[in-house]
Structure 1
Amino acid sequence: MKIAVTGASGLIGSTLVPALRADGHEVVRLVRRTPRTADEDRWDPQHRRIDPTLLLDVDAVVNLAGTPIRPRPFTEGYRRDLLTSRLDSTTTISEALAAAAAVDPRRRRVLVSASAVGYYGDTGDRVVEEDAPPGEDFLARVCVQWEEATRPASDAGVRVVTVRTGLVIGRGAMLVQILGTIFRFGLGGRMGSGRQFWPWVSLADEISALQFLLTADDVSGPVNLTGPEPVRNSEFVRELARAVRRPAVLPVPAPAIRLALGEFGRSSVLAGQRAVPARLQAAGYEFRHGDLPSALREALGRR
């Protein structure tokens, strides 16, 4: 397959590209700067511009572009960047794929486009599969619009998969870098009540599942890309502490998290989703890391 990848410089994209090439695929990285290598092509998602011929001979696009969601307060400017970067990139790619489909409707194309489990908002103890309704907080509303931006492609007959990814556990992952450092100094503990579910996924499964979905012709629509066993925050921090061989005895009070991180703290730290990968498993995907300890051991280089 010839596969175009947006957001190829991020953690997931930079791991996915060599994995796709190792499988024998031809990969083109879409970049916003002047291309530096033969495998790069330029696009301008901010202004929704892309060469109309660029995707004519492309079989698949993996769309990972968007301003990273970081542990910081959501200022108005940051909120705008989070939303518009996702809508601009996804709309640009979707419309380009629709145009390519109009020129050559016989070519089978697929768009695997990023989303997040934040789509569901805070779901408490309820098990969440892909047919669950969206939440109402800011990140949930972003995810709804983000997924809706793929409609031009799906309306044109392109198979579209929106992957609702959980907390990625892997070397270089922001979550592992930040919490790993804190816990190595013995300063870690549960966050808030610790009862909120954190739906994690190993980086290895993130990449493997994306590869799987590219060729899973009977799968379309939303797919939870999470590990099969979501855990409560209290269990997550206990396993992380065990992995770095440090105690987890310093809980962080909910008011302190809300004060320091604002809406990010409320929606992404103190809230959670008991999301399970129902559609992924029904399609036959087999997880490399079916439990959190094994994912943490690989992410931290432990045996």
Structure 2
Amino acid sequence: MKILITGASGFVGSQLVKLLSPQHRLTLLTRSPGSAAAKLGAAHRYLADLDNLANLDSFDAVINLAGEPIAGKRWSSVQKEAICQSRWQITNKISALIKASQNPPSTFVSASAVGFYGRQGEQHINEDFNLSQESKSEFTHKVCSQWEKAALNAVSDSTRVCIVRIGLVLGAHGGALAKMLPAFKLGLGGPIANGKQGMSWIHQTDLIRLIEFMLNNKQCSGIYNGCAPAPVSNKVFTHAMGTALKRPTCIPAPAFGLRLALGEMSTLLIDGQYVVPQKALADGFEFSYATIDDAFSEIFKS
């Protein structure tokens, strides 16, 4: 297939490129084509933007992973706008180009996040969960809701759209673990707040396999939770990580300190959700790393 991928040089995107490149012809949208080519290889076509494209007739599929890191900076009003627009604008543009195509891509896979669900306590949530008005008022829901609507605008008889609400992506060389590892390796890790908040996670390999599964299976469409089938509490997650690293995890991070240090962004750590991938399992996807112990055993095996 001829596939357009946005966010290709990111933590997830770069691994997806490696998985897909042996069998497919890839065009990669990235803000820095030169550095991306040095990282991902010169065999691919690189674009700095979509402005010179009138349609997407030349592509069989699109995978949209672009977006400003949601935990990269404190959530000032300027940063919130950057988080939103970096997702909404590119997704609206892709949908518009698909709709302008005479022979549009047959598949559009677009990222979202479990933040769509907002704070949900300890109940387990699948794709059919009905949100309260309180949940819909949260910033993470607003970001994801508009992001998903923009992608779903591309749905037609010719184009199926899959939305992946991605959880915490676990891998040894990037993502959230890269920020957590230094403290844990020094024995300074510990539960956050009361440790009861849900952590909906997925091993990096399973996420890119799930995206490939959606590309290859025409029955896939609509909303999918991109999480492993066994979400855990922050306390369980912390203990499992400490066990895998053979380090103690007894230094807690109090909620008030995180709120002072991070402001509104602290909700990403203090609050959470227990999200399950009901639809992926129903469609026949099999997770290679279904438990947190399995995931950490593979990640820290060396």
Above 0.5 in TM-score? Answer: yes
**How many angstroms apart in 2 are the aligned matches of 1:278 and 1:216?**
17
> Which secondary structure state, in structure 1, belongs to the residue aligned with residue 21 of structure 2?
helix
1:125 aligns with 2:115: no
Whether 2:110 is the aligned partner of 1:113: answer: yes
- Who is 2:206 aligned against? 205
Shift of 1:25: 1.5
The corresponding residue for 1:291 is: 291
Aligned to 2:53: 51
Q: Deviation at 1:31?
A: 2.8
Contact persistence 1:50–1:96 (CA under 8 A): no
- Mapped partners of 1:39, 1:205: distance in 2: 24
8 A contact 1:31–1:40 mirrored in 2:
no
Do the aligned residues in 1 keep the contact of 2:206 with 2:288 (CA within 8 Å)?
yes
Partner of 1:39: 44
For residue 156 of structure 1, report the CA deviation from its aligned partner.
6.6
2:73–2:79 CA contact under 8 A, matched in 1? no
User: Are 2:198 and 2:271, in contact at CA under 8 Å, matched by a contact in 1?
Assistant: yes
RMSD in angstroms over aligned alpha carbons?
1.7
2:26 corresponds in structure 1 to 27
Unaligned runs of 5+ in 2: none
* Percent identity between the two aligned chains: 36
Deviations 1:235-291 (A, max 9, x none): 00000111111101111111011111111112x111111100000000000001011
Alpha-carbon distance in 2 for matches of 1:254, 1:131: 30
TM-score, normalised to structure 1, is 0.91
Determine if contact 1:42/1:50 at 8 Å carries over to the other structure.
no
Helix, strand or coil for the counterpart of 2:63? strand
5+ long unaligned stretches in structure 1: none
Residue 149 of structure 1 aligns to a residue whose secondary structure is helix
2-structure distance, mates of 1:300, 1:14: 20
Counterpart Cα distance in 2 of 1:190 and 1:149: 36
CA contact (8 A) 2:4 2:59 kept: yes
- Does 1:77 find its partner at 2:78? yes
One-letter identity of the residue aligned with 1:18: K
Structure 1 stretch displaced more, 287-296 or 196-205? 287-296
Cα distance, 1:151 vs structure 2 = 3.2
What's the CA shift string for 1:165-222, capped at 9, x where partnerless?
Answer: 0000012223111211111111111100100010000000011101001122112111
